[in-house]
Structure formats: C-alpha cells, structure tokens
Amino acid sequence: MKEKIRALLQKPFAIPAAILLLILLAYGILAPRMGFYWDDLPFAWFLRFFGPAEFIPAFKPFRPLLGYVFLVTTAIFGGNPITWQILGLMARFILSLQVWSLLRRVFPTRERSALWVALLFTVYPAFGQQWVALTHVNQELIPLIFLLSSFIVTINLLRKQNNSTSPQNPANRRFALHLALAILLQILGLFSTEYFFGLEILRFFFILAILSETLTDKKELLKKSITTWLPYLVIWVINAAWTYSYHRSQAYNSYQISIASLLSPLALLNEFINTLSLSGFTSWLNTFNIFAVIDASVTQIIAFCVLLLAFAITLAITSNKKQETSDEQPVTRNPYLVTPHWFILIGILAIFAGRLPSWAAGLPLKIEFDYDRFFISIMLGASLFIVGLADLILREGRAKLVILSLIIGMSAAYQFTVANTYRRDWANTQNLFWQMAWRMPALKEGTAVLAYELPLNYLSDYQLMSALNWMYAPDFSGRELPYALQYLKTRFEASEIKTNYPIEITYRTTTFSGNTSNSVVIYKEADGCLRVLDSVYNNAETVPGASFYLTEAISLSNPDLILVNAKPELDETIFGSEPSRGWCYAYARAEIARQNGDWEKVADLYKETQKANLSPALPVEYLPFIEAFARTGNMDMALQLTERTIKGQPPLCPALITLWNRVSSETDISQAESLLQKECIP
C-alpha cells in the first residue's frame, strides 16, 4: 500500500492535485453558500441593470483599463454568485501552479523550496478576501495571472538562450514573438490595476539568478541582467508615468498618491517594521488563534479536520524523495544566488514591492477587513521569506517538513474559519433584506433609508444601496437612483442631521437626489428584528444607549413613506428564497398593523406566535404587543409582557412609562403604574 501511495505521489499530476485539494479545503467547502460581498454587490447590480459595457465608464475615474477586464468576464460568466466563487477557486489554482512553475524554472536546484513557496502562497492567511470573488477575480487575480505569465514567458525565453550552444539572434522571429508576448502580458498585468506595480522588480532578480548559472564576472552578470530586463523596464517606467499622471488628472476620483509625509526616516522605519512583522510573522502566527479556546463547535471541528487533511497532504507531497535536487540540474556559478539568504532577500524585496502601491496611497496595512486586500500583492514575497527562513534555520530534515506542513495546515484551517464568517454574513444580509421586505414592502421613490450602522461585516451602506434598489426597483432604468441607503455614522456630521438637509450621492455612473425629510430610519441589532424608528412608538427611549447620531435622526423618520400594501419582489439569485416566517415576520406584520392603527390585529398576531412557540430575542420587541393588549382590554397580558420586558431589559423602563402614559386616556393604568413604580423607580 505504501509503495502504491509513493508511486502515486511521483506522478506528474500529484503536486497540482495536492494544490487543488488545499484550495478546496481552505476556500471551497462553503463556496456553494457564499454570496456577494463588498463591491461585488454593486458590480452585480450594474451588470444586471446596465449590462457588461457599463463597467467601462464605471471604472473610468478609478482604473480606466480595468473596466475592460470586467466587460469580458461578466459578458461570458454573468452575475451568479456561485459562478464567481468557482472562478475564484480556479484563479487561485492557476496562480499557485504559476508560482510553482515560475520558481522551478528560476531556481532549478531548489525545487523543493519552490514547492514550499507555492503551497504557502496557496493558503496565505493574511489575505482574507478570497470570497469577494466578483471583485477580486477581476481586479487582482486576473491581472496577477497576466503578470506571472509574463514572468514565465521571460524565463522560458531566457532558459532557451542560456541552454543554447550558440547565442540566439535577438532579431530571430521566434525570439521577437516571445518577447512581444511577455511584454503584452506585462502590460495587461500592470496597466489594468496598480496593485502589482512593484512586483515587476522581481523579474530583474529572476533574470539575474538565471544568468548567474553561466556568467561568473559580476559586472558582466549585472550588465547582461539589466540589458535583458531593459524592454520590461521601459514598460514599467511608462506604466509608472501613466499611473502618476492619471492619478493627478481631473479624470481620476479615488485615492491620491501622497508620499511626502511618509518619507521621513522614522516613518520609513516604522513602515518597514510593521509591514515585515505583519506579512512575514504575524500573518502566520495568527492562524493558531482559531484553537486558542476549544469550544468543540461545528466550525472548530471542521477546521480541525481541514488542519489534519491539509497537514497530511502537504507532508505527503513534500516528503516525496523524487522532489530532491537532481545532479543533472544546472548548477549556478554564483552559489550565493540560490542560498536561503537569497530567498529571504527576494522575499523581503517582494513584500515591500507588493506594499508599495497601497503605501503610496497612504492606506494602512492591517489583518482585518477591508485593509487585508493589500496582502494579495504581498503573499508571494511573504511565502518566499518564510521558506528562506525555514531553509536557513531548519535546513533539510523532518523538523522543517513538520513545521512548514503544520503552518500550511493551520493556514488552511484559518481560511476555512474566515470563510464561515463570510457565509454567516451573507445569510445575515439576505435575512436583513427579507425583513425589510416584510416591514417595508415598498417605498415611495426618493426615499433615503438611514441607519447608524447595520450588523454586517463585509458590506457597507453604499454597497447595500445597490441591493436596496435591486429589491425596490426591479425594473429600474436610467441614471437617477430612486432609493438611497446611508450610514449616519460615516456619511453625516452632527450638524447635518436636520430637516430638509439635502442628500446628494454620486455612485459611479448613477446619482441620487433627496433630503433628510424624505427618509426612513431603521435599526437592527445582531440578534434582533429590523425596526423602523419614529418619534412616537419607536422613539429614542426604545434604543437605550444608542448613538447621538441615531437618536437625533429619529425625528426625521417618516413611516408614511412605506407602502404597506405593496407586494415585494425579491430576486432569489441575490436574496435567496424567503426564510421561515418566524418571530421577526410576525413582528414586522405587527408593526405594519400598528402603523395602520389596527390594534386588534397586533394582539392577534401575538397569540399566533404563542401557538407557534415563538418568542423574541430582544425584550424591546414586546412593546407593540403590550400596547395592543392594553388598548384592546387584555390588561393581564399587557402587564405580564411589561414585567417580562423590564426583567429582560431594565433600560427600557422610560419607554414603558411613555407607552403606558400614551394609553392612559383610553384605559385605567393604575396596575401598570404600580408595577412600573415597583420595578423601574428605585
């Protein structure tokens, strides 16, 4: 049996298969349950309502050539979330194979190290946005595939020259075609996005390493390396000039290049330490935190299984003796260019080359959403760096195999746990919009939905705004958005939260024009139901401890903008099928009935929830039912729910006092006053 496994591991497909399995373990297990995140959602909305060609003007103020990438891919693959998750997995597989192939060609005497780099690159844990697939496949992964393809063509061309017994004439047609192909791929990789601008420097060092196999004189080696790199250097300089000039032009409308304040010695030293520590050390060590507390949850159990499988796969494929250096492989005449120190040096260089674009824009590097996207251009350098360190400290041996395999296994398990947070967030997003549909079946055009913030991790207000228009304007056409969604936390100053304050939004190629007097203020806690706030029933007293921004905005909320008798139409491709009609569905219907003044209906809805054994997660959701029972004469039930609310959430006492005062003109509230006096007033 062992011999069969060993023979299988020696097959040509063994390493690609191992890489594919790692990708599936780390990123693919939950892929069918993923959705759209971050800019995915507005991109999908633009695709649905304007078509693929809209990406060209939509990207013109940001990355004018990237729109063509989106145009081609979305025209072919459409806008289904699962399609893009699959494409994301495929792109990562291609990239990992490219890294493995590239480094094997550059360092043929270090095949095992090349494999380690590829495996670490595959599961690099600091980049935690694999599932933002529609955005990152187009915005980064495809350009990186182009750039690495350019590197590979360059290396293959150089290998043919280096291995030839007679110098190849640069005018040779085949040489010219290969050079043209390498430059074309370089242009596609660099001009579509600035993310990988710095990585072009790696081509020079790869050329240097290959030429060192035949050239002993260091001056001649350096001269030949620069000469070989020169055509690519010209393109690189042109790209730098074009990027800088475009970012300074009036056509550009995004992050500005501003490095003056970043060039002080202290700032540079701080950036060096922070970038190297985060990308080279903290990123790997953080993976162990997933088992810091053993809770035996389903997620943790699956993560542990992923760890074991990834560890076993890595250990098996890297223990294969066939991967050892062969005597027939070329030996460099400059051995220092293939030492662990060289891998460490190139790794550090690649880390800072990858960091360069985001650093120049003044953007921080953090292992948290959404700044972790900048690690996508750093993960190759970080993988080279850690392999160089392992080669230097551990050398070859069982300890190195086990430690690096464990790091890869932990990274795969870590990525799975991150994937689970994306899965939950998409489920919460879909649930949020279904609750909107239940509570606000339709809205009058020109309505702005305001919230201090919503309990979602991977979508912000402008991104949610596209989904809002998708739901409430399924037949939308034109450029003027009928609805807006804004966070009070980030879009308003305190002085702007007042009546008739204009809300003017430009989002890529669309606009919204409204004002604060035509707004609905919503509120949702992570475990609670969606609530529409207003000055009477859901006032500031019902959100104790809320931000000043929210409590000030409540007076602006106009529930009359809600068309309660409409029938919502939700696209199941995005919003999924309707969830089970549990407590929050009944609560939404009760809120609508209260808005219509139908207190009997509100009371009946509570009775239905009791028959179905439903109850709220938050006591505040008893309030409409307390008032309904008080107004319809069921004082016992009203008092019972009042007491339950006080015990469950004492800060709601002011809201309960206001509620009972509101119904005092219709019924005797002496019993309620006694209860409130006893429970609420010290």
Distance CA 339, CA 388 (A): 8
Query: What's the predicted TM-score (pTM) here?
Result: 0.93
Coil, helix or strand at residue 562 = strand
Residue 92 in contact with residue 122, Cβ under 8 Å? yes
What are the tens digits of pLDDT across the range 92-145? 999 999 999 999 999 998 899 999 999 999 999 999 999 999 999 999 999 999
Q: What is the pLDDT of residue 8?
A: 76
Distance CA 198, CA 355 (A): 8
Mean local confidence (pLDDT), 353-371:
92
Q: Which amino acid is at 101?
A: S
Q: Determine phi and psi for 556, rounding to 5 degrees.
A: -85, -20
Q: Is the pLDDT of residue 175 over 90?
A: no
Among the listed residues 133, 146, 147, 139, the one whose alpha carbon sits nearest the alpha carbon of residue 65 = 139
- Residue 552: C-alpha distances to residues 103, 450, 485, 532 (Å): 59, 12, 17, 14
As beta bridge partners, residue 161 has none
Q: What is the pLDDT of residue 161?
A: 76
Q: Is the pLDDT of residue 320 over 80?
A: no
Distance CA 612, CA 631 (A): 24
Domains of the chain are 13-421 (no CATH), 440-579 (no CATH), 580-682 (1.25.40)
Q: Is the pLDDT of residue 539 over 90?
A: yes
Distance CA 68, CA 52 (A): 9
What are the tens digits of pLDDT across the range 574-613? 999 999 999 999 999 999 999 999 999 999 999 999 999 9
Q: Determine phi and psi for 339, rounding to 5 degrees.
A: -80, 165
Residue 462 in contact with residue 479, Cβ under 8 Å? no
Q: What is the pLDDT of residue 601?
A: 97
Mean local confidence (pLDDT), 230-254:
82
Residue 80 in contact with residue 35, Cβ under 8 Å? no
Q: Which of 72-86, 279-293, 435-449, 595-609 has the lowest mean pLDDT?
A: 279-293
Q: How confident is the model at residue 327 (pLDDT cuts 50, 70, 90)?
A: very low
Mean local confidence (pLDDT), 527-551:
95
Q: Is 120 exposed, middle or buried (0-12, 13-18, 19+ CB in 10 A)?
A: buried
Element (H, E) at 298: helix 298-318
Q: Is the pLDDT of residue 222 over 50?
A: yes
What are the tens digits of pLDDT across the range 408-419? 999 999 999 999
Per the structure block, which two tokens stand in for 588? 């939404």
What average pLDDT does the chain have?
Answer: 91
What are the tens digits of pLDDT across the range 457-514? 999 999 999 999 999 999 999 899 999 999 999 999 999 999 999 999 999 999 999 9
What are the tens digits of pLDDT across the range 39-90? 999 999 999 999 999 999 999 988 899 999 999 999 999 999 999 999 999 9
Q: Rg for the chain (alpha carbons), in Å?
A: 30
Distance CA 441, CA 597 (A): 18
Q: Is the pLDDT of residue 367 over 60?
A: yes
Q: List the strands of the sheet with 447-451, edge to edge.
A: 483-487, 447-451, 519-523, 531-533
Q: What is the pLDDT of residue 254?
A: 56
Contact partners, residue 527, CB within 8 Å, separation at least 6: 617, 618
- Residue 168: C-alpha distances to residues 162, 171, 174, 190 (Å): 9, 9, 10, 28
Among the listed residues 634, 632, 639, 636, the one whose alpha carbon sits nearest the alpha carbon of residue 660 = 639
Q: Which of 185-194, 210-219, 325-334 has the lowest mean pLDDT?
A: 325-334
Strand segments (E) across 155-282: none
CA 313 to chain centre: 27
Q: Is the pLDDT of residue 196 over 60?
A: yes
How many CB atoms neighbour CB 268 within 10 A?
Answer: 12
Q: Is the pLDDT of residue 9 over 90?
A: no
What are the tens digits of pLDDT across the range 14-33? 999 999 999 999 999 999 99
The highest-confidence range among 16-25, 264-273, 317-326, 358-367, by mean pLDDT, is: 16-25
What are the tens digits of pLDDT across the range 206-220? 999 999 888 888 899
Prior bond of 527 cis (ω within 30°): no
Q: Are strands 510-515 and 502-507 parallel, antiparallel or unpaired?
A: antiparallel
Coil, helix or strand at residue 515 = strand
Q: Which residue has the tokens 């190290």?
A: 113
Q: Are strands 483-487 and 447-451 parallel, antiparallel or unpaired?
A: parallel
Mean local confidence (pLDDT), 420-435:
97
**Can you give 59-119 as a three-state secondary structure string?**
HCCCCCCHHHHHHHHHHHHCCCHHHHHHHHHHHHHHHHHHHHHHHHHHCHHHHHHHHHHHH
